Structure 1
Amino acid sequence: MHDRRPPRGRSLSTWTTRRWLRVGASLSLAVLAVLGVLGFWVLNRTQNLTTDLVDVRTPATSAALRLESALVNQETGTRGYALTGNPELLEPYRQGLADQKTQTDRLVQLLHGNDSALADLAAVEDAAARWQREVAGPIAAAPAGTPVAQSAESAAGGKTAFDRVRAELARQQDHLRSDRAAARADLVSTMRVRNWVFAAIGVVIAVLTALIFEGLRRGITRPLEQLGSDARRIGAGDFDHPIAATGPADLRRLSTDIDSMRRRLVEELAFTEQARLRLDAQAAELQRSNTELEQFAYVASHDLQEPLRKVSSFTQLLQRRYGGQLDARADQYIDFAVDGANRMQVLINDLLDFSRVGRVHHNHQDVDLEDVLDRTLDVLSDSIAEAGAQITHDPLPTVFADPTQMGMLWQNLIGNAVKFRRPEIPPRIHVSAERRDGLYHFAVTDNGIGIAPEFAEKVFVIFQRLHTKDAYSGSGIGLAMCKKIVEFHGGTIAIDPDHVEGTRVVLTLDAEPAEALLPPTPAGPTPAAAEQEAR
């Protein structure tokens, strides 16, 4: 069978940052857990040995020495009593018996579970009991006042019996000292092991910390720094700089995705740059064409004005000199020629005014619309008086605009409201103004003939008329000029479809000062210069 598992290096290369962190944390916790268990065991072992040495071995040795002292006191007391018969000398014997019982009980308690030490204690007790039974007891029971008769005979036997007691005591103490020395050596050894274990724990923690920091630096910090460096370089404009894919699998995927986005942006920028170059070329061509058209318009208007003046002058001379001398048809033809020449002059002048909006008049400044409306009413005073129009208005604000264009705007709006009135009904015109949402909202409302909703957009198209020239005079350019003026100032204008009793024209203008939109400087003579030259 073939081993189909991927190579180790390849499998590790697919690990993500989360997996690396999970494996590293698990290994670190496992090592720390093992070291912690070992450290706990060493500490517990040290504590147990210390407790055994302090609370058992040393007190047991001391108790054995006190037991020996109690037995020696008994031997001394009985020997003195046997020689002198003085009962006061039995007091050390009686105190020795009490001390023997106390120290024996303490040793039994301290040596609980230590069979060899308890056996030594039992041997001491047996030897002491034999000596007390054979020697000390009979001497202490003898009457006081005279030396004990058997003292000389029993002295040798008592000494031999007490020597056996001393031998058992010496053996017990030797064993206890050996056990205490062994316990002390074990404690010292265990403490040495404890110190090495905790030193190893410290070293392992330091090594793990260094490995973790180095792993984070190589696996996360350095790849992110490289990615950030590449991103900043691309952000500085070096879009052809590739992004290197380093680090764990997820960071490499992130780098690959960002590099894919970079390549897409490079493609989009290349396409955008090509489009911009084409637009720049088209804009330059359009600017050149507009400049030529403007110059052509001024030249053409100048060339048209002179023959129109001649046609108008001579047809008027014909009308004055030969009027009534020819037949009625000839007079009608002359009237048609005079009217056509006059309307052609009006149309040319209106076209010139329309073309000047945004080119000739662009001297933006603070304009008081109250003063502009007053001047407009003065200009239109004759037609207002003839129609019997009543014109009212709200307080009008000051706006940042071109004063000439504002005059043309109000003159066309008020003039249309007066002109398109209902027969036999005096015009009532009101100009309202309010500030809302950073804009000034104006409305010119009249009680005239009104505009049908289907023509609300058509009336703002140049030369679009809803009535014949016989019904209402004009060239059909007024509202188109108003639209151009308002839009040049960044506003909007429309017919209010909800107003049915007449016409309401609503428009907006910026409430805050804004920079004027300056037209591009054309190559060659400017239209204003051409117009001045034409005049």
Structure 2
Amino acid sequence: MATDVKSRRSETAHAGASPAASREAHPVPSRASWTTSRWLRVSATLALVVLAVLGGLGLWALNRTSALTDELVDKRSPALSWSVRLEAALVNQETGVRGYGLTGERSFLAPYKEGRSDERAAVTELRELVADDSQGRADLDHVLAKAGAWQRSFAEPIADAPAGEPVESATRRTNEGKTSFDALRKAMVAQQEHQRVAREAALDDLRAATRLRDAILVSIAAVILLLTVLIFEGLRRGVTDPLARLGADARAVSSGNFEHPVVATGPADLRRLGADMDAMRRRLLDELAFTEEARHRLDEQAADLRRSNSELEQFAYVASHDLQEPLRKVSSFSQLLQRRYAGQLDERADQYIAFAVDGANRMQKLINDLLEFSRVGRVHNDHREVDLEDVVGQTLDALSVSIEESGARIVHDPLPTVTGDATQLGILWQNLIANAVKFRHADRAPEIRIEAARDGALWRFAVSDNGIGIAPEFAEKVFVIFQRLHTKDAYPGSGIGLAMCKKITEFHGGTIGIDPDHTPGTRIVFTLAATDPAPRDEADAVEGAAAR
């Protein structure tokens, strides 16, 4: 079977290698080898180029529209307006001079003087506005030439004449002044006409630029919308749909259908990913076949072990029970010899008989303790809610004699309810409290404290005393069965108590250990699973004392 699995693995490896070999033997088109990142880079580059071109066109259209608007608002319209104001200024001059010439009163020269001031202001503005317009400059020079000719030949001589004389001078120059001002008026009309034509042309250019700008902006919006649609469609066809199909195949395989092939489409990296996933699927098939075979062998071995363990447990239990009867005979007859022949034999014979009685009694206790140790997890396996307040109370009652003889003082926190076997938990607490009472200093009474604190899903307990303590190097040894740190003469016992405690706590899903930082005495810390999900209110915890 193992050979078949290896052969299938080899076939899988060859099958996994075949697509690459096929690609090398039959080159695919260049774009078929593009990865997702390359497709995205190319698409993003093309989109950016198109957007840059459209953005440049849009910026050019906006700049042109802005430039034409500025020309119309800042030059053409003001130039026409100042041309009209120049005409008004010259008309005011003509009106003032003509009135002075007819009446001879100097008050009529006020419009003339105001017109001269307005003329200078209008000429200053017009020269700045038509600085870049050759036609505008020519029209302004022509108007100023005609205005200068009229002013020199008619207006200035009349305005400079003394009061009373202008009437005669004006009468002589009337025809000449009229002809000169008509020429000036004609030049101004031509100037304003040219300004109006230029203004209309600028306005037409602005309207055309505005229409072009709007068309470019609409085209940009349409192209952006088209690019968005193309990008989403490309992502759907090239990325999301292949990923969705790949995910569906992967979910089918992960649900247990390992025969379902993984077929990938789209860019090259997704196809490679699909090929890798399919190779992994085939590898899993081989591994599952191998694992199934190994599991069958393990099940057979586990069944053999369970049968062997059951036979060993039965053998140990029967052997222990069978040892009880001869051991009781040895113990009984040794005690009979001790009572019947005490004092009749020599001192050494009495000592030998005492050794035999003590050894039989100790052997019987060891067998009983070993039977009790073997029962943990096998009998008394009725897990239910156990109130540790009751368990500790019963334990203190059972140990009341030794507590009273030693003068021990025992205090404990409020104890919770846990899930477990009441009998085994009673043995746990009895061993811990009995050890704390037994391993004490001869010159002071034991002081024992039991603590309980919630730690997530567990309850953490601690039993502390002020006794002789346990050296750190023996912190693990004391939990090994029949391991003793003292002779039986100094402290009686079989050395099985803490081993029993460890087996009980581990059977209940907890841990137990020695706190190496606690001094003086010993502090044993262990955990048990909590029954209720909410911890008790530790703020209401008070010490409970039981001194017996």
1:48-447 to 2 correspondences below 5 Å: 48-61=71-84, 63-64=86-87, 67=90, 88=103, 101=116, 105=120, 108-109=123-124, 112=127, 114-123=137-146, 125-126=148-149, 161=176, 164-165=179-180, 168-169=183-184, 171-207=186-222, 209-210=224-225, 213-214=228-229, 217=232, 225=240, 229=244, 233=248, 236=251, 238-239=253-254, 241=262, 246=267, 278=294, 282=298, 286=302, 289-290=305-306, 293-294=309-310, 297-298=313-314, 301-302=317-318, 305=321, 308-309=324-325, 312=328, 316=332, 346-362=365-381, 363-364=383-384, 365-368=386-389, 369-378=391-400, 381=401, 389-395=406-412, 397-399=414-416, 400=418, 401-413=420-432, 429-435=446-452, 438=455, 439-443=460-464, 446-447=467-468
Of stretches 464-473 and 426-435 in structure 1, the one that deviates more from structure 2 is 464-473
- 1:389, 1:429 within 8 Å by CA — same for their partners in 2? yes
Read off the aligned partner of 1:49 and give its amino acid letter: L
Q: For 2:427, what is the secondary structure of its paired residue?
A: helix
| 1:169–1:283 CA distance, 2 compared to 1 (3 A) | same
**2: distance between equivalents of 1:120 and 1:384?**
134
Structure 1's 320 and 197: CA in aligned 2 closer, same or farther, altered over 3 A? same
For the residue of structure 1 that corresponds to 2:379, the secondary structure is coil
Structure 1 pair 352–64 and aligned structure 2 pair: CA distance change class (3 A): same
Contact 1:17 1:219 in 2 (8 A): no
Match of 2:24 in 1: none
User: Aligned pair count?
Assistant: 474
> Larger Cα Rg: Structure 1 or Structure 2?
1
Taking a change above 3 Å as real, the CA distance of residues 34 and 406 of structure 1, as seen in their structure-2 partners, is same
Deviation digits for residues 217-238 of structure 1, max 9, x if unmatched? Answer: 3677886755874686578564
- SS of the aligned residue for 1:398 comes to coil
Q: Is the 8 A contact 2:262 2:274 kept in 1?
A: no
Shift of 1:305: 3.0
The whole-number CA distance in structure 1 between the counterparts of 2:57 and 2:166 is 74
| 2: CA distance, partners of 1:128 / 1:263 | 106
The 8 Å contact of residues 462 and 524 in structure 2, kept in 1 or not, is answered as yes
Matched residues, percent identical? 27
TM-score in terms of structure 1 length: 0.63
CA distance in 1, matches of 2:434, 2:207: 113
- Superposed CA RMSD in Å reads 6.0
Q: Write the distance in 2 (CA, Å) between the matches of 1:34 and 1:184.
A: 26
Counterpart pick for 1:457 among 447, 464, 476: 476
Structure 2: gaps (5+ residues): 1-29, 132-136, 255-260, 534-548
Contact 1:370 1:396 in 2 (8 A): no
Partner AA of 1:47 in structure 2: D
What's 2:524 paired with?
506
Q: Aligned equivalents of 1:500 and 1:70: distance in 2?
A: 122
Partner SS for 1:394: strand
Using the TM superposition, give the Cα deviation of residue 353 of structure 1 relative to its aligned residue in structure 2, in angstroms.
1.5
- 1:45–1:459: structure 2 CA closer, same or farther, 3 Å change rule? closer
Distance change >3 Å, CA 458–CA 318, structure 1 → 2: closer
Instruction: Check conservation: 1:74, 1:94, Cα contact below 8 A.
Output: yes
SS at match of 1:358: coil
Q: For 1:281-301, what per-residue CA distance to the aligned partner results, in whole angstroms no more than 9, with x for missing partners?
A: 746853774366346634763
SS at 1:440's partner residue?
Answer: strand
Distance 1:143 1:62 in 2: 27
